[in-house]
Amino acid sequence: MEQYLDHFMNYLTVERGLAVNTLEAYGRDLTRYLDFLEKHEVAAVADISATHVLGFLGALKNAGLAPRSRARSLVAVRTFHKFMVAEKIAVANPADRIESMRLMQSLPDTLSPREVERLLAAPVEPTPMGLRDRAMLELLYATGLRVSELVGLRLGDVQVLMGCVRTLGKGRKERLVPVGETALSELDVYLREGRPLLGKKAASLHLFLNRSGNGLTRQGFWKIIKRRALQAGIRKNITPHTLRHSFATHLLENGADLRAVQAMLGHADISTTQIYTHVTRERLRRLHEQYHPRG
């Protein structure tokens, strides 16, 4: 069945245009699935039943995989079999009637507005890297971009007159995200005073450059935000996604429309955005417990 997996992965790459990380996750999950089927001597797609899929999920649970990872594997298996049916390789999807696992979604870590201010103010040095870091942090909080979208920005993606940036999200879907005046101002300083010095060694069209003049990587920015958080005295376990979570949470706390936040985050399904409404409700509950006389 490996030939079918290759065919399916090619479909996800070419026709669906999925991101590299998503493709890798599908590949890992389905390779594990096919190994399970081979171990149980299932040699043809037509021979796979719902019992096999349930057995696979049970094996994942016994192996200690978290509910979220098992749910992701079920999605991969269901999508794979749906493709097999569409290609007329199979007549039915054995995973179609298996209910998706209801996950207790863990609330994403966020920063308070005051912590965000401290983080954004951390890069104070007037060096090219300092100007770059300040611009990146401001832009990330102003737009809620994914880190891959942030480091993937090109010079032409910043629309200063329109006050927005153009980015390619998951599935290579393009969207325009508004940028506030503060972030645009920091970007302007970086482009005038910082980037020309970083770009002397290499001709790169990337917006944010490393010391060598090449585009900054996800890992590079990960180190930057960790270092700047430590510099700001923030003890939380901060990742680039923390600012994305904070962006969405702070918008909703201040009355933003859920659909608008969904569009800015680039979520295909609004249920993904709704996790942030849980964050705001959880915050209200904590405030009630803290300040109400009978909380």
Determine the average pLDDT of the residues in 63-84: 89
Q: Kindly state the percentage of the chain with pLDDT values over 70.
A: 91
Instruction: Give catalytic residue positions.
Output: 146, 170, 241, 244, 267, 276
Token pair, residue 238, equals 């901060």
187 vs 67 pLDDT, higher one: 187
Minimal CA–CA distance to 139: which of 21, 224, 255, 235?
224
96 vs 183 pLDDT, higher one: 183
Measure the CA–CA gap between 241 and 149, rounded to whole angstroms.
11
User: pLDDT-derived band of residue 103, with 50, 70 and 90 as boundaries?
Assistant: very low
Q: How many CB atoms lie within 10 A of CB 232?
A: 19
15 vs 157 pLDDT, higher one: 157
Determine the average pLDDT of the residues in 235-256: 89
Whether the per-residue pLDDT at 104 is higher than 50: the answer is: no
16 vs 27 pLDDT, higher one: 27
* For the ranges 104-108, 152-156, 284-288, the one whose mean pLDDT is highest: 152-156
* Per-domain boundaries in the chain: 2-86, 113-289
Domain range 113-289, CATH architecture: Orthogonal Bundle (1.10)
181 vs 2 pLDDT, higher one: 181
The amino acid present at 288, given as its one-letter code, is H
Q: Is residue 164 helix, strand or coil?
A: strand
Whether the per-residue pLDDT at 293 is higher than 90: the answer is: no
Q: Taking the complete model, does pTM exceed 0.85, yes or no?
A: no
Tell me 194's DSSP state. Answer: I
Domain range 2-86, CATH architecture: Orthogonal Bundle (1.10)
Determine the average pLDDT of the residues in 169-196: 90
Measure the CA–CA gap between 104 and 68, rounded to whole angstroms.
9
Residue 199 sits at φ, ψ, to 5 deg, of -90, 10
User: pLDDT-derived band of residue 278, with 50, 70 and 90 as boundaries?
Assistant: low
170 vs 282 pLDDT, higher one: 170
291 vs 194 pLDDT, higher one: 194
Whether the per-residue pLDDT at 273 is higher than 70: the answer is: yes
User: pLDDT-derived band of residue 170, with 50, 70 and 90 as boundaries?
Assistant: confident
Convert the pLDDT of each residue in 253-271 to its tens digit.
888 888 888 889 988 777 7
User: pLDDT-derived band of residue 189, with 50, 70 and 90 as boundaries?
Assistant: very high
Convert the pLDDT of each residue in 37-66 to its tens digit.
999 888 888 889 988 998 999 899 889 888
* pLDDT the model gives residue 199: 82
Minimal CA–CA distance to 108: which of 4, 238, 233, 293?
238
Q: What is the mean pLDDT of the chain?
A: 87
Q: Residue 85 in contact with residue 93, Cβ under 8 Å?
A: yes
